[in-house]
Amino acid sequence: MFPNPEGRSAKLTQRAMQVLPDGNSRSTIRLSPHAVYVKDGKGARVTDVDGNELLDFNNNFTSLIHGHAHPGVVAAIQEQAPKGTAFGFATEAEIELAEMLVSRADGFDMIRFCNSGSEAVMNAIKAARAYTGKGRIAKCEGAYHGSYDFAEVSLGSGPEAWGDENRPNSVAYSHGTPNGVLNDVIVIPFNDVERSEKILNEHAHELAGVLFDPVSTQIGLLPPSPEFLDMLVRFRENSGALLIFDEVIAFRQGYGGSQGLIGVTPDLTALGKIIGGGLPVGAVAGSREVMDVFRVDGKKARLPHGGTFNANPLTIVAGRAAMQDWTPEAVDALNAKGEACREALREAIRIANVPGQVTGSGSLFKIHIHGREIHTYRDTYPIGLEADRVVALNHRLIGNGVFCSSYGFGCLSTASTDSEIDQLAEASVAAYRQMREDGLYDAD
Ligand SMILES: Cc1ncc(COP(=O)(O)O)c(C=O)c1O
């Protein structure tokens, strides 16, 4: 099944290499030795071009809250497409989706749409700068917030560059990142109240905001401690810097997102993924006072914000259909399935008798390929053979008919059933056993 050097996916990869750098348009979906090309998807399953069926626990990196080709979303797109897909005018549907979303969280008085989570994070940072008149931001070491260069600083940074834990370095993610960008991003250690508060206080006078993801995948889905959240709120109150939540993934955790569950109301929230029903989307939501930076006052807004496809009706009607079916009951049912899934994955680790642990909450899970205690980003960083195990687990899971992600992270959709969770657990046991045969656990 995977890898299959003779299959159509392998041949398409070779063809893609001729016209697409590295064969794709998206570093996050890269697979070696060849990509898997998908023919179609329905519910919790996809079929590849070689006819293999895969259980999909990736759901386009968490964006498909109802799985593939959800009937309500398909119907909404089919109804809208013949009427036009994008206009240089406003449409009523935009107001309807905005109304649905602002009714869900205390932190959302107003909302502004864009086309991706990266854009949402970028616009939230720019809004914080425009509101405070300050240029710098702070973020947690390791955290992923999309591809805006300020948000990328210290993403996935490793031991060779991360520096002293008392004062983590601002590490460039892409070659050629300007020093000015690194200089304007202050990096704090997740869940380390004392060190983070000290660093933030030193920069209190120059920070526009603190960017924070309550369920950071790159920080191993470790839950933020109440003390760390209190510290962030305290810092906001003492400094005037805004609290910016990145809920591009986290919004799926509760009816009102993660903020509703942890009881912290940020000034700004970056949204994306599920609110577009599977189509490209992003949004910034926030308090009326802060969101006012987008309003034209006199000749120009403090933060002018265009975008040819912002709030295009195809995305908006798909998002509206998805959100209509994302009821409080649907959220609770999915999150209960999430707990059962994490338990099944833990049981798989016990049955295969390999080191490992599973973190996550709501509908998200992350498989850690070691048994070390993990409290901080640096603890979660794979060391030595662990990095090989992470890659091998992804490959072996695909070979056993399941797709999560290249780093042991996955999610459920409302289309996931108990039997699919059982199959995920069985595939995990088979994958771990194959990895043991491959010698990946010999050093333990
Ligand atoms: C937490 C978080 N923020 C931002 C983004 C960027 O979103 P997009 O890929 O839509 O640009 C992602 C994408 O995975 C994400 O996980």
Tell me if 257 CB under 6 Å of ligand 1. Answer: no
**Nearest residue by C-alpha to atom 9 in ligand 1:** 117
Could you please state the CATH topology (level 3) that the domain comprising 71-324 is classified under: Aspartate Aminotransferase; domain 2 (3.40.640)
Q: How far is the centre of ligand 1, averaged over its atoms, from the C-alpha of 281 (Å)?
A: 10
Determine how many CB atoms are found less than 10 A away from the CB of residue 291: 21
Return the axis-axis angle of helices 92-102 and 313-324, rounded to nearest 10°: 40
Q: How far is the centre of ligand 1, averaged over its atoms, from the C-alpha of 260 (Å)?
A: 20
Quote the pLDDT of residue 439. 93
Fold identical between 8-69+327-437 and 71-324? no
Q: How far is the centre of ligand 1, averaged over its atoms, from the C-alpha of 333 (Å)?
A: 25
Backbone angles phi, psi at 215, to 5 degrees: -135, 65
Quote the pLDDT of residue 443. 79
Q: How far is the centre of ligand 1, averaged over its atoms, from the C-alpha of 117 (Å)?
A: 5
- H helices of 255-297, in order, are 257-262, 288-291
Q: How far is the centre of ligand 1, averaged over its atoms, from the C-alpha of 248 (Å)?
A: 6
Quote the pLDDT of residue 192. 98
Quote the pLDDT of residue 88. 97
Identify whether the C-beta of residue 208 lies closer than 8 Å to the C-beta of residue 128: yes
**Nearest residue by C-alpha to atom 3 in ligand 1:** 145
pLDDT at 384 over 90: no
Please tell me the distance from the alpha carbon of residue 203 to that of residue 352, in angstroms, as a whole number: 48
The Cβ-side half-sphere exposure at 433, using a 13 Å CA radius, reads: 11
Contact residues for 207 (Cβ-Cβ < 8 A; gap 6+): 132, 134, 136, 137, 138, 186, 200, 239, 241
Segment 347-358, tens digit of pLDDT:
999 999 999 999
β-strand pairing of 409-411 with 364-368? antiparallel
**Nearest residue by C-alpha to atom 13 in ligand 1:** 146
Give the residue extent of every domain in the chain: 8-69+327-437, 71-324
Q: For the CA atoms of 376, 381, 385, 388, what is the dihedral angle to 10 degrees?
A: 140
> What is the rounded average pLDDT of the residues 104-118?
97
Q: Cα–Cα distances in Å, from 120 out to 138, 144, 151, 273, 306?
A: 17, 13, 11, 11, 13
**Nearest residue by C-alpha to atom 5 in ligand 1:** 146
Segment 188-219, tens digit of pLDDT:
999 999 999 999 999 999 999 999 999 999 99
Please tell me the distance from the alpha carbon of residue 420 to that of residue 69, in angstroms, as a whole number: 18
Per the structure block, which two tokens stand in for 27? 């570093």
Atom of ligand 1 nearest to the CA of 146: 6
Quote the pLDDT of residue 131. 98
The CATH code belonging to domain 8-69+327-437 is 3.90.1150.10
Please tell me the distance from the alpha carbon of residue 422 to that of residue 414, in angstroms, as a whole number: 16
Atom of ligand 1 nearest to the CA of 216: 1
Q: How far is the centre of ligand 1, averaged over its atoms, from the C-alpha of 149 (Å)?
A: 13
Please tell me the distance from the alpha carbon of residue 185 to that of residue 128, in angstroms, as a whole number: 14
Segment 287-323, tens digit of pLDDT:
999 999 999 989 999 999 999 999 999 999 999 999 9
pLDDT at 403 over 80: yes
β-strand pairing of 296-297 with 300-301? antiparallel
pLDDT at 444 over 80: no
Whole-prediction pTM value? Answer: 0.98
**Nearest residue by C-alpha to atom 7 in ligand 1:** 117
